[in-house]
């Protein structure tokens, strides 16, 4: 007699006419590794109600600022936040925090707590917490913390002891003696990033069962000489045995100087050891408009694997992946193409335009998304310091060399500034901007299909799952549209707390993070209590 599972599988096979789509984890930001903001999850809610608890499975409390997107793997959910609602009374004060919750219950399993950089508030902006989404590969969790460190964590935390080689969690989590408020924000103050100085051993906090187990650390400041700015936002890309990481190199507190022009924008580490194996050789540093916040993506183009990355200089690059582990010295990444996203913008001495809302260089926050031999990229003037102009561009990813003049398939003007990564679904491209508009564009030719005015800026990316488009805004409004050629707003919810995180779906549940709470939304769920 066939099992229920095999009947369900058979029904899925015949019903869909294609490979069955089963509930799955979401172990990295976007799809692996095109970074398309699309999920194959089904049966997700059309609406929910925080007042009655309808369609809510559970709610977990976060800090007060959450700019990180929830990531789900192997029964656990990871999200970065701050420490303004301390989960552990031993950790008090401003910290970067990564929380790990039980997927089923929303209970906290463990957390990584990282002291802030206190040399200059511009190195590690007060109260912003850990902004990077994690990437989970097997039982290892990769992320870039608030101090500009690439960290490899044990998904099981300390439940099976303190695994190495890194065993100095006590020093890592203990703030310096006399730690307190960061110095005043003084533009032009001559301050350099300094290493963490833990207190003497006897005064250090000791890791307990709810603290993270760090396996290795690579410090981007000490290791490749970056100048951190505002906060790290990197989503690590795993390709074979290697991690591709945008470094976060940026301007200093004047917003007019690059202190580390030689520092790389993209580095490659051995995922097993954290050893540096390669870095870009594109001399992007002097032209970084604000900081290096675009994370890499990857795809095979005509049978050839490529790593895509957009620099803080507004140029989209493709590199060959690292194939061999070199024993001596870091390898330079081999470039396959470069595409200047804004060729008419000024290219030299770009920081003289800092604060100019009318003209100046472009940079790129969202990820370059690969879909069917094309790259879709949103970019334009910096949201805080640059011109208002922004675009969604479609690039032919099959070309090589300098492809600025021959690879642009189409360009679509956006409203004012863009932070989003596009979602490509069913011949449509969805993106949202900081001019408070959601856009639906024909993927083939870039023609506008519909727009919708939203109440706040979109810092999150639109996310397509179950035929719906999910998007939260900085005004605290959450929108659910039909992901189709015709505009249809299915529902909207006023959460009254700003949203920076992209919504994610895994195993039949949708995860939505506001600044203060993580909602697990599930069809038919009724919330019992906040965890
Ligand atoms: Ca350890």
Measure 162 CA to ligand 1 centroid, in angstroms: 4
Measure 156 CA to ligand 1 centroid, in angstroms: 11
CA–CA distances in Å: residue 30 to residues 36, 72, 286, 298: 5, 12, 30, 11
pLDDT band at 531 (very low <50, low <70, confident <90, very high): confident
Measure 227 CA to ligand 1 centroid, in angstroms: 27
> What percent of the chain is modeled with pLDDT above 70?
95
Residues 451-468: tens digit of each pLDDT: 999 999 999 999 999 999
pLDDT at 6 over 90: no
Neighbouring residues of 154: CB distance < 8 A, sequence distance ≥ 6: 139, 140, 141, 160, 163, 212, 213, 214, 215
Measure 468 CA to ligand 1 centroid, in angstroms: 41
Region 256-284 average pLDDT: 97
Query: What is the rounded distance in angstroms from the CA atom of residue 492 to the CA atom of residue 451?
Result: 16
Query: What is the rounded distance in angstroms from the CA atom of residue 133 to the CA atom of residue 239?
Result: 17
> What percent of the chain is modeled with pLDDT above 90?
91
* 8-state DSSP, 317: E
pLDDT at 291 over 80: yes
pLDDT band at 479 (very low <50, low <70, confident <90, very high): very high
Residues 230-242: tens digit of each pLDDT: 999 999 999 999 9
Query: What is the rounded distance in angstroms from the CA atom of residue 498 to the CA atom of residue 119?
Result: 28
Place of tokens 């307990």: 208
Measure 157 CA to ligand 1 centroid, in angstroms: 9
Pairing state of beta strands 448-453 and 463-465?
A: unpaired
Counts of helices then strands in the chain (DSSP H, E)? 3, 35
Pairing state of beta strands 331-332 and 276-279?
A: parallel
Neighbouring residues of 321: CB distance < 8 A, sequence distance ≥ 6: 239, 240, 242, 298, 305, 306, 307
Measure 384 CA to ligand 1 centroid, in angstroms: 38
Does residue 122 contact residue 182 with C-beta atoms inside 8 Å? Answer: no
The predicted pLDDT at position 325 comes to: 60
- Helix/strand/coil for 352: helix
pLDDT at 327 over 60: no
Phi, psi dihedrals of residue 92, rounded to the nearest 5°: -120, 145
Measure 163 CA to ligand 1 centroid, in angstroms: 4
pLDDT at 341 over 80: yes
Measure 110 CA to ligand 1 centroid, in angstroms: 13
Query: What is the rounded distance in angstroms from the CA atom of residue 222 to the CA atom of residue 157?
Result: 26
The predicted pLDDT at position 528 comes to: 65
Q: Is the dihedral of CA 171, 127, 251, 253 positive or negative?
A: negative
Measure 165 CA to ligand 1 centroid, in angstroms: 7
pLDDT at 9 over 80: no
What integer best gives the mean pLDDT of the chain? 94
pLDDT at 162 over 60: yes
pLDDT band at 526 (very low <50, low <70, confident <90, very high): confident
pLDDT at 12 over 70: no
Measure 511 CA to ligand 1 centroid, in angstroms: 29
Measure 134 CA to ligand 1 centroid, in angstroms: 18
Measure 144 CA to ligand 1 centroid, in angstroms: 17
pLDDT at 194 over 80: yes
Token pair belonging to 156? 């099981």
Q: Which residues surround ligand 1, an ion (CB under 5 A)?
A: 162, 166, 213-214
Instruction: Give the residue among 414, 456, 131 at the shortest CA–CA distance from 293.
Output: 131
Measure 141 CA to ligand 1 centroid, in angstroms: 13
Measure 215 CA to ligand 1 centroid, in angstroms: 5
Burial of 130 (0-12, 13-18, 19+ CB in 10 A): buried
Residues 367-409: tens digit of each pLDDT: 999 999 999 999 999 999 999 999 999 999 999 999 999 999 9
Query: What is the rounded distance in angstroms from the CA atom of residue 121 to the CA atom of residue 174?
Result: 19
Measure 521 CA to ligand 1 centroid, in angstroms: 33
Q: Which of 154-168, 177-191, 324-338 has the lowest mean pLDDT?
A: 324-338
pLDDT at 478 over 80: yes
Measure 109 CA to ligand 1 centroid, in angstroms: 16
Measure 216 CA to ligand 1 centroid, in angstroms: 7
The predicted pLDDT at position 529 comes to: 67
pLDDT at 1 over 80: no
CA–CA distances in Å: residue 270 to residues 122, 153, 217, 263, 364: 29, 14, 12, 19, 26
Measure 99 CA to ligand 1 centroid, in angstroms: 17
The predicted pLDDT at position 20 comes to: 63
The predicted pLDDT at position 181 comes to: 75
Measure 299 CA to ligand 1 centroid, in angstroms: 33
DSSP E strand boundaries for 181-247: 214-219, 237-239, 242-246
Burial of 245 (0-12, 13-18, 19+ CB in 10 A): buried
* Rg value, the chain, Cα: 22
Residue 261 C-beta-side C-alpha neighbours within 13 Å: 7
């Amino acid at each position: 007699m066939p099992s229920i599972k095999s009947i369900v599988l058979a029904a899925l096979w015949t019903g869909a006419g294609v490979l069955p789509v089963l509930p799955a984890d979401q172990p990295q930001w976007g799809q692996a590794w095109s970074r398309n903001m699309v999920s194959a999850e089904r049966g997700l809610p059309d609406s929910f109600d925080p007042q009655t608890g309808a369609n809510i499975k559970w709610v977990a409390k976060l800090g007060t600022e959450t700019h990180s997107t929830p990531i789900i793997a192997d029964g656990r959910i990871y999200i970065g936040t701050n420490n303004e609602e301390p989960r552990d009374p031993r950790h008090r004060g401003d910290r970067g925090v990564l929380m790990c919750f039980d997927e089923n219950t929303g209970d906290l399993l463990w957390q990584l707590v990282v002291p802030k950089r206190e040399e200059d508030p511009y190195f590690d902006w007060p109260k912003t917490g850990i902004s990077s989404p994690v990437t989970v590969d097997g039982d290892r969790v990769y992320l870039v913390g608030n101090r500009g460190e690439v960290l490899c964590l044990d998904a099981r935390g300390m439940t099976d002891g303190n695994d190495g080689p890194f065993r100095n969690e006590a020093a890592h989590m203990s703030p310096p003696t006399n730690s307190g408020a960061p110095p005043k924000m003084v533009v032009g103050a001559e301050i350099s990033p300094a290493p963490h100085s833990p207190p003497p051993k006897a005064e250090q906090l000791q890791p307990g069962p709810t603290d993270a187990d760090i396996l290795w650390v690579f410090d981007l400041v000490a290791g490749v000489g970056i100048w951190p700015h505002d906060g790290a936002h990197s989503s690590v890309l795993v390709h074979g045995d290697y991690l591709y990481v945008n470094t976060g190199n940026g301007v200093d507190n004047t917003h007019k100087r690059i202190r580390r022009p030689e520092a790389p924008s993209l580095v490659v580490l051995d995922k097993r050891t954290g050893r540096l194996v390669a870095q870009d050789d594109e001399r992007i540093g002097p032209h970084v408009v604000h900081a290096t916040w675009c994370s890499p993506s990857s795809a095979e183009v005509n049978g050839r694997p490529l790593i895509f990355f957009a620099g803080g200089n507004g140029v989209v690059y493709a590199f060959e992946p690292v194939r061999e582990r070199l024993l001596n010295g870091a390898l330079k990444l081999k470039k396959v193409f470069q595409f200047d996203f804004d060729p008419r913008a000024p290219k030299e001495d770009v920081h003289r335009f800092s604060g100019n809302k009318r003209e100046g260089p472009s940079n790129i926050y969202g990820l370059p998304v690969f879909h069917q031999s094309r790259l879709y990229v949103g970019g334009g003037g910096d949201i805080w310091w640059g011109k208002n102009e922004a675009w969604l561009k479609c690039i032919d990813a099959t070309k090589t060399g300098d492809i600025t003049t021959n690879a642009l398939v189409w360009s679509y003007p956006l409203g004012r500034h863009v932070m989003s990564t596009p979602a490509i679904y069913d011949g449509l491209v969805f993106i949202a901007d900081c001019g408070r508009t959601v856009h639906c564009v024909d993927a083939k030719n870039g023609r506008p299909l519909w727009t919708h005015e939203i109440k706040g800026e979109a810092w999150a990316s639109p996310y397509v799952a179950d035929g719906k488009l999910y998007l939260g805004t900085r005004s605290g409004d959450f929108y659910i549209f039909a992901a189709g050629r015709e505009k249809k707003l299915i529902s909207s919810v006023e959460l009254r707390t700003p949203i920076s995180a992209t919504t994610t779906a895994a195993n039949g549940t949708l995860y939505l993070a506001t600044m203060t709470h993580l909602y697990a939304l599930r069809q038919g769920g009724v919330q019992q209590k906040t965890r």
